[in-house]
Amino acid sequence: MRKRTTRRILKSDLLLHPFHLQATHEILEVDKPQRRLFCPEFIDQFRNNDEVLEKVMFTNENWFHVSGYVNSQNMRMWSAENRQFL
């Protein structure tokens, strides 16, 4: 079956949508106190200094596996609703 046909069936007939899967780090109980302390401190810094965001480094995450390369950009979950926000 062609890829286009499969996609049409999933969207039109089954009313499903593709959702991009995103890997995140698990938040452990021992991490929560540190996060609760950090958030108000960061908000205070942000309010008092307009250049804070220029000093924060945002990066993309890459996955490396012993078994080989995994292209996470092509990973999709077909569902009627986005399960990551349930």
- Average pLDDT of the segment spanning 20-34: 80
Q: 86 pLDDT exceeds 50?
A: no
**DSSP assignment string, 62-74:** ----TT----GGG
DSSP 80: S
Does the predicted model carry a pTM greater than 0.75? no
Query: Are 21 and 76 spatial neighbours (Cβ–Cβ below 8 Å)?
Result: yes
Model pLDDT for residues 36-84, shown as the tens digit of each residue: 998 898 888 888 887 877 777 665 555 556 666 666 666 677 788 776 6
